[in-house]
Structure 1
Amino acid sequence: MNGFNWEFDFDQSFPIYVYNMIVDGNRDPMHWHQYFEIGLCIDGSGKFIFMNKEYTVKKGDIFLANNFENHVAISESGEKTEYIFIFFMPSLIADPNGRQLDLQFLLPFQYHPLDFDNKINGDAPAAKKIYPLVHEIYEFYSKESADPFDQLEIDIRLRQILLELMHHYWGNGNFKTDDSITNLSVQKAIKYMNLHFSENITIAEVADHVGINASYFRHLFKEHTQITFKGYITYLRVSQAKKLLLATDKSINEIILDVGYNNAYQFYKVFKNLVQMSPAEYRRQYRNKITVKHS
């Protein structure tokens, strides 16, 4: 399995986890999780790789990840990229049976991964407003002696951040109010695919896993993700290949097998079509910018 489910034991009464993390080369695998993530780069530079996207990282940049899109942060040569991450369960903000007003705070995370811009540049107005709020949340969360009102302070600031995210994505035309991606069968399928994409999984296998007819599942998946089952698996495999090309010294042939391809020609064709360059060209272009760590 090349996908990895990165989870924390949240306090169910206040399901949030805030921590300072230093990314040093190829420390983490491509992963997904069942919580929402807001990441703020506070020092250094590097890259953030998502399913079909990659972003350069500098101080002040903000990143969003929802509860099923594979992603990983890696650092550049000679750099250690430092982040503050806020992980939280949707239940912290809204109950599905609660106020519609609360549910609206979560709309920025109900995105379609193929056309969503996960990054907010540090010089954007929203990032400048969010930057101090993230630091304040981290300070309240990290206090040695907790105050009875600290959780309220965190909750207020997180909602302020979510409001800024809504303004940003609405204003940039990258905001959709369609919540169809929350279809439970599709989410269950995506989580299974994220874990098993490097294996020879079939649409019938995944449909059986979620307990619905394969023909209906094919239609349902395309309707709610705007991509075919095969296309989604392809994006997962290529994103993992990009990560391995940048952050390991594995040969291309090894990487081809690692991400689930038995046919090298097919891999090269798919990679060139999605990335607009060959795997070797991609590695040459970015290799000197990324720290290589041996596993």
Structure 2
Amino acid sequence: MKPFRKPFFGDPLFPFEINHKNIKKQDNELPDHLHDRYELVYVYQGKGTFFIDNTWYEKKSGDLFIIPGNTIHHSLPDNDDPIVSSALYFAPTLLTTEPLDDSYSSLLCYDFARKKKSYRLELQDPLKSITEAALEDMVKEIEERRTGYHEAIRLITCQLLLQINRLILTENGNPNKSLRMAPSWMMEALEQIDEHPELDFSLSNLAEHANVSASHFSRVFRQLTTMNVSNYINAKRMIRAKEMLLQTEDNINVIAEHCGYDTPTHFYRVFKSLTGVTPSVYRKNAF
């Protein structure tokens, strides 16, 4: 049977979700599935088995499973002793800041897991306590939504991955001294789109500027953003449009032009498809 591709429906510009301390039984688990996002699964209690990339793992308290994007997996909890676990899902773009140390990437543990085909860590204190506290802090940030909570979640995630990476390096040595999360040409492309979403970017001209093939550019772009180029650009344009609708009195036709849309009709159609309301209704409801 072909594996199910799990969808995500959250904010595409903040590709992060957490399912915290869920009770897992066999009848509410997905069959073989995969998804673009990277996943961490931490087990608090219970037992079962976890199928990841053609290997079965015992699943028990203190286990941490590191699952790279597009890895087939499914869980079989014990119905008599169900699993209680937290699952963290994120796209690599959540962590896209240039590292100060060229030899380090937050995604090192995922690269190691994929290369070694070893997806489970059996945590001991203090890393168990660190992991549980980090997950609690993420949930608190989401619930409270204080200023900067997106950045707080990113920093907590990076700090947790740093502790996991240090454990792997201590036990295995540096598996890849030159690992970088994203090539410099991709970081440059993302920065260009972020700064000027109104420009007429296309996959072909972005790939040409990066001096790589369109297929390679598309593959790396999707690995980092979980979106294709046009969807990512539209999402960035929507951020600008929402800001202009709320912070200026500009005519909506002017806003459409500033956001890179050839016609107001095109802008209205895209805005409503992504937000569920027209620009006029969005502006009216905000005040």
- TM bin (shorter chain): 0.5 to 0.7
Number of aligned residue pairs: 182
Match of residue 135 from structure 1 = 136
Kindly indicate whether the alpha-carbon contact (under 8 Å) linking 2:38 and 2:89 is maintained by their aligned counterparts in 1.
Answer: yes
Distance verdict in 2 for CA 1:32–1:111, change over 3 Å: farther
Match of 1:40 in 2: 42
Change (3 A) 1:174 1:127: farther
- CA distances 1:203-223 after superposition (whole Å, capped 9, x unpaired): xxxxxxxx89xxxxxxxxxxx
Note closer, same or farther for the CA distance 1:175–1:71 as it changes in structure 2 (3 Å cut): farther
| C-alpha distance 149-58 of structure 1, shift in aligned 2 (>3 A) | same
- Is the Cα–Cα contact under 8 Å of residues 66 and 113 in structure 2 kept in the other structure? no
Post-superposition CA distance 1:59-81 (Å, at most 9, x none): 23211100122111111141221
Q: TM-score, normalised by structure 1?
A: 0.54
Structure whose CA Rg is larger? 2
Deviation string 1:205-264 (CA, Å, 9 cap, x unpaired) is xxxxxx89xxxxxxxxxxxxxxxxxxxxxxxxxxxxxxxxxxxxxxxxxxxxxxxxxxxx
- TM-score of the pair, normalised by structure 2: 0.55
Deviation of 1:99 after TM superposition, in Å, equals 4.6
User: By how many angstroms is 1:112 displaced?
Assistant: 5.6
How far apart, CA to CA, are the structure 1 residues paired with 2:4 and 2:174? Answer: 28
Aligned to 1:49: 51
Match of 1:122 in 2: 123
User: Residue 147 in 1 paired to residue 146 in 2?
Assistant: yes
CA distance in 1, matches of 2:43, 2:113: 24
Q: Is the 8 A contact 1:108 1:175 kept in 2?
A: no
1:122–1:128 CA contact under 8 A, matched in 2? no
Q: Which runs of 5+ in 2 are unaligned?
A: 184-214, 217-287
For structure 1, the residue ranges without an aligned partner over 5 or more in a row are: 184-210, 213-295
Q: Give the structure 2 partner of residue 3 of structure 1.
A: 3
Structure 2 residue aligned with 1:89:
91
**1:174 Cα shift?**
7.1
Tell me what 1:79 maps to: 81
Q: Distance in 1 between matches of 2:59 and 2:87?
A: 14
Instruction: Find the counterpart in structure 1 of residue 30 from structure 2.
Output: 28
SS at match of 2:34: coil
Counterpart of 1:267 in structure 2 is none
Could you say which residue in structure 2 is the equivalent of 1:278?
none
Once the two structures are TM-superposed, the CA of residue 58 in structure 1 deviates from its matched residue by 2.0
How is 1:107-118 mapped onto 2 (pairs within 5 angstroms)?
107-111=108-112, 113=114, 115-118=116-119
The answer on whether the counterparts of 1:116 and 1:174 sit within 8 Å (CA) in structure 2 is no
For the residue of structure 2 that corresponds to 1:13, the secondary structure is coil
What is the CA distance between 1:175 and its match in structure 2?
A: 5.4
User: Could you tell me how far apart the structure 1 residues matched to 2:39 and 2:96 are?
Assistant: 16
1:104 deviation in Å?
0.9
Deviation at 1:122, TM superposition (A): 3.3
* Partner Cα distance (2:166, 2:71) in 1: 22
Residue pair 2:105, 2:179 contacting (<8 A) in 1 also = no
User: What are the superposed Cα offsets for residues 167-215 of structure 1, whole Å, 9 maximum, x if unpaired?
Assistant: 01111117522659x99xxxxxxxxxxxxxxxxxxxxxxxxxxx89xxx
Structure 1 position 100, deviation (Å)? 6.5
Q: Distance in 2 between matches of 1:136 and 1:49?
A: 29
Distance 2:119 2:174 in 1: 11
Q: Say whether the 8 Å CA contact 2:25–2:79 is kept in structure 1.
A: no
- Contact in 1 for aligned 2:113/2:119 (Cα 8 Å): no
- Any idea what SS the aligned residue of 2:70 has? coil
1:143-168 residue CA offsets vs partner (Å, 9 max, x unmatched): 1x421132222122111111011101
Instruction: Output the CA distance in 2 between the equivalents of 1:135 and 1:59.
Output: 17
Residue 54 of structure 1 deviates from its aligned partner by: 2.0
Quote the residue 1:167 is aligned against: 166
Question: Which AA in structure 1 matches 2:132?
Answer: Y
CA distance in 1, matches of 2:54, 2:108: 21
| SS state at 1:17 partner | strand
Q: Hey, what does 2:17 align to over in structure 1?
A: 17
Distance 1:56 1:168, change over 3 A: same
